[in-house]
Amino acid sequence: ETKERAVKPTLAEKAKAANAGKWKEKSVSGLSVEISSEGFRFYGDEMGYDKLLELWEKSEPVTVRYALRGEEKTKYREGKFLITSLEETSPSDDDSTYTISLENSGPVETKTVAPQG
Protein backbone atom coordinates (compact mmCIF):
# COMPACT_ATOMS: atom_id res chain seq x y z
CA GLU A 1 0.00 0.00 0.00
CA THR A 2 1.33 3.40 -0.87
CA LYS A 3 0.52 7.01 -0.29
CA GLU A 4 1.34 9.98 -2.48
CA ARG A 5 2.95 13.19 -1.44
CA ALA A 6 2.83 16.26 -3.63
CA VAL A 7 5.16 19.08 -2.74
CA LYS A 8 4.49 22.56 -4.02
CA PRO A 9 7.61 23.73 -5.88
CA THR A 10 9.35 26.96 -5.00
CA LEU A 11 9.59 29.77 -7.57
CA ALA A 12 13.27 28.92 -8.09
CA GLU A 13 12.40 25.27 -8.84
CA LYS A 14 9.68 26.38 -11.27
CA ALA A 15 12.14 28.60 -13.11
CA LYS A 16 14.68 25.75 -13.45
CA ALA A 17 12.36 23.03 -14.75
CA ALA A 18 9.25 23.14 -16.88
CA ASN A 19 7.79 20.10 -15.09
CA ALA A 20 8.57 21.15 -11.50
CA GLY A 21 5.83 20.01 -9.13
CA LYS A 22 4.31 17.54 -11.56
CA TRP A 23 6.14 14.53 -10.18
CA LYS A 24 4.77 13.08 -6.97
CA GLU A 25 6.68 11.20 -4.33
CA LYS A 26 5.34 7.87 -3.07
CA SER A 27 6.09 6.01 0.10
CA VAL A 28 5.04 2.65 1.50
CA SER A 29 2.34 3.00 4.12
CA GLY A 30 1.61 -0.69 4.66
CA LEU A 31 2.43 -4.20 3.52
CA SER A 32 -0.02 -6.96 2.73
CA VAL A 33 0.07 -10.50 1.38
CA GLU A 34 -2.65 -12.27 -0.57
CA ILE A 35 -2.50 -15.99 -1.32
CA SER A 36 -4.74 -18.02 -3.59
CA SER A 37 -4.67 -21.73 -4.28
CA GLU A 38 -6.60 -24.49 -6.01
CA GLY A 39 -7.05 -28.08 -4.88
CA PHE A 40 -8.89 -31.28 -5.67
CA ARG A 41 -11.91 -32.13 -3.55
CA PHE A 42 -11.30 -35.39 -1.68
CA TYR A 43 -14.19 -36.62 0.44
CA GLY A 44 -13.16 -37.69 3.92
CA ASP A 45 -9.82 -35.83 3.72
CA GLU A 46 -8.97 -34.55 7.23
CA MET A 47 -7.27 -31.37 5.99
CA GLY A 48 -9.22 -30.83 2.79
CA TYR A 49 -12.17 -28.69 1.83
CA ASP A 50 -14.34 -29.67 4.82
CA LYS A 51 -11.68 -28.53 7.31
CA LEU A 52 -11.09 -25.31 5.36
CA LEU A 53 -14.84 -24.63 5.37
CA GLU A 54 -14.92 -25.15 9.14
CA LEU A 55 -12.03 -22.70 9.59
CA TRP A 56 -13.67 -20.16 7.24
CA GLU A 57 -16.91 -20.33 9.23
CA LYS A 58 -15.03 -19.51 12.46
CA SER A 59 -13.92 -16.20 10.86
CA GLU A 60 -10.67 -16.23 12.83
CA PRO A 61 -7.07 -15.93 11.63
CA VAL A 62 -5.30 -19.22 10.92
CA THR A 63 -1.56 -19.90 10.85
CA VAL A 64 -0.32 -20.41 7.29
CA ARG A 65 3.09 -21.58 6.13
CA TYR A 66 4.01 -21.28 2.47
CA ALA A 67 7.10 -21.30 0.29
CA LEU A 68 7.77 -19.79 -3.08
CA ARG A 69 8.49 -22.28 -5.82
CA GLY A 70 12.13 -23.36 -5.68
CA GLU A 71 12.65 -22.20 -2.07
CA GLU A 72 10.89 -25.10 -0.30
CA LYS A 73 14.12 -26.68 0.93
CA THR A 74 15.71 -23.49 2.29
CA LYS A 75 13.04 -21.11 3.60
CA TYR A 76 9.33 -20.49 4.03
CA ARG A 77 7.02 -17.72 5.17
CA GLU A 78 4.62 -17.91 8.10
CA GLY A 79 1.91 -15.69 9.50
CA LYS A 80 -1.72 -15.36 10.50
CA PHE A 81 -4.18 -15.17 7.59
CA LEU A 82 -7.92 -14.75 7.17
CA ILE A 83 -9.72 -16.98 4.70
CA THR A 84 -11.46 -14.40 2.52
CA SER A 85 -13.11 -16.79 0.08
CA LEU A 86 -13.62 -20.51 -0.40
CA GLU A 87 -15.37 -21.82 -3.49
CA GLU A 88 -16.14 -25.32 -4.70
CA THR A 89 -16.71 -26.30 -8.32
CA SER A 90 -18.31 -29.67 -9.05
CA PRO A 91 -19.00 -30.10 -12.77
CA SER A 92 -20.96 -33.21 -13.70
CA ASP A 93 -18.30 -34.55 -16.07
CA ASP A 94 -15.06 -33.59 -14.28
CA ASP A 95 -13.24 -33.62 -10.92
CA SER A 96 -14.50 -31.48 -8.07
CA THR A 97 -12.09 -28.68 -7.18
CA TYR A 98 -11.96 -25.77 -4.81
CA THR A 99 -10.23 -22.40 -4.69
CA ILE A 100 -9.22 -20.54 -1.56
CA SER A 101 -8.06 -16.95 -1.04
CA LEU A 102 -6.32 -15.66 2.08
CA GLU A 103 -5.12 -12.25 3.29
CA ASN A 104 -2.60 -11.66 6.05
CA SER A 105 -3.67 -10.45 9.47
CA GLY A 106 -0.44 -9.13 10.95
CA PRO A 107 3.22 -9.68 10.08
CA VAL A 108 4.47 -12.44 7.78
CA GLU A 109 7.94 -13.69 8.71
CA THR A 110 10.52 -15.48 6.59
CA LYS A 111 11.95 -18.54 8.38
CA THR A 112 14.78 -20.93 7.56
CA VAL A 113 14.10 -24.62 7.03
CA ALA A 114 15.95 -26.72 9.60
CA PRO A 115 18.56 -28.98 7.99
CA GLN A 116 17.54 -32.63 7.86
CA GLY A 117 19.98 -35.27 8.82
DSSP E strands, 67-96? 75-89
Domain residue limits, the chain: 1-30, 32-112
Q: Give the pLDDT of residue 76.
A: 94
| Residue 103 burial by Cβ neighbours in a 10 Å radius (0-12, 13-18, 19+) | middle
Pick the CATH number of 32-112 from 2.30.110.20, 2.30.110.10, 1.10.4080.10, 1.10.10.10: 2.30.110.20
Separation of first and last alpha carbons in the chain: 41
pLDDT in tens, 31-46: 999 999 888 776 666 7
Q: Estimate to the nearest angstrom the gap between the alpha carbon of 99 and the chain centroid.
A: 14
Instruction: Show the low-confidence residues of the chain (pLDDT under 50).
Output: none
